[in-house]
Structure 1
Amino acid sequence: MTFPRLIASLTMLLAMSASHAFDFKTVGAAPVILYDAPSTKGGKLFVVPRGTPLEVVLAYGEWLKVRDVTGELAWTEAKGLTAKRNVIIRTPNLKIRATPDDSAAPVFVADKGVLLEVTESAAGGWLKVRHRDGLVGYVKNSEVWGI
């Protein structure tokens, strides 16, 4: 393999590994508009409510290509998103537990689609979360979307 070809292969490998990195942001204080192109002149697709997590797939200047919980891809302005971490429950009737343990008592039960604020990561793939009503408990990373 020639040196230029080796450099090109390594560059592609790095680009591919970077494309699999997940970066989640949360819609800030005001809802954001998702567009079909990185411009306010693009077609408006959706309005996403505040607090909703979005996966950042690509950054292009002041625009971000994002994926929502349904898997849809669209563009939004970076200024509308924050680093705060929220998650959405993936399954119906999920038990939010008192401690990060499958056998721990449930603090509350939440349905699919409920938004929770992440307050900290816990050991063993658990997250400490807070419901908007103030209830706090633990969920597994695999039970939510946005992490």
Structure 2
Amino acid sequence: MRVGPSTIYPTKWIYMKPGLPLEIIDEYGHWRQVRDDAGTTGWMHSALLSGLRTAVVGPWLKANAMLRGSPETTATLIAELQPGVLLSLRSCTGTWCSVSVQKHSASGYIRQNMLWGAYPGEMFR
């Protein structure tokens, strides 16, 4: 991540873990201004970004988020996910998201408002 939209600008931050969710907030040529889940903003070349959707369990949560077998609060509990756990997003209904836990075999549904990486009410497949 750089301070401005070019390699002439100094490096602001180096992300060591691939696949972290970033929100694109502006564009300039091949450069994208992005924001991460901690609120850090800067510029990254579009070649460093992926269109694959990911999310993290909300860093603001004081308790674990429940991963369920179906999109219902009474559905079978699959796992309790700590804040900051990285997830792959499959789809979101505006209320629930179908997710898989990266590097693990767990998959299921989690309340959309427990995630950073999907906008409130956003729907996609």
Fold agreement, TM-score > 0.5: yes
- 2:12 alignment partner in structure 1: 45
Deviations 1:62-91 (A, max 9, x none): 100001101111000011111110000012
Higher-helix-fraction structure = 1
Instruction: Supply the AA of the counterpart residue of 1:128.
Output: S
Whose Rg is larger? 1
- 1:126 alignment partner in structure 2: 96
- The root-mean-square deviation of aligned C-alpha atoms, in Å, is 1.2
Q: Aligned to 1:117, which of 58, 63, 88? A: 88
Q: Secondary structure at the match of 1:56?
A: strand
Q: Aligned to 1:96, which of 56, 67, 74? A: 67
Instruction: Supply the AA of the counterpart residue of 2:99.
Output: V
Specify every segment of 5 or more residues in structure 2 that has no aligned partner in the other structure, as ranges. 119-125
Aligned length: 113
How far off its partner does 1:61 sit? 0.2
How far off its partner does 1:110 sit? 1.1
**Conserved 8 A contact 2:94-2:112:** no
Instruction: Supply the AA of the counterpart residue of 1:73.
Output: T
TM-score normalised by structure 2 residue count: 0.85
How far off its partner does 1:146 sit? 0.6
Instruction: Supply the AA of the counterpart residue of 1:130.
Output: S
Specify every segment of 5 or more residues in structure 1 that has no aligned partner in the other structure, as ranges. 1-33
TM-score normalised by structure 1 residue count: 0.73
Structure 1 distance, partners of 2:18, 2:90, is: 17
Instruction: Supply the AA of the counterpart residue of 1:127.
Output: C
Which of structure 1's runs of 4+ aligned residues deviate more than 4 A? none
Matches within 5 A, 1:12-91: 34-48=1-15, 49-90=17-58, 91=61
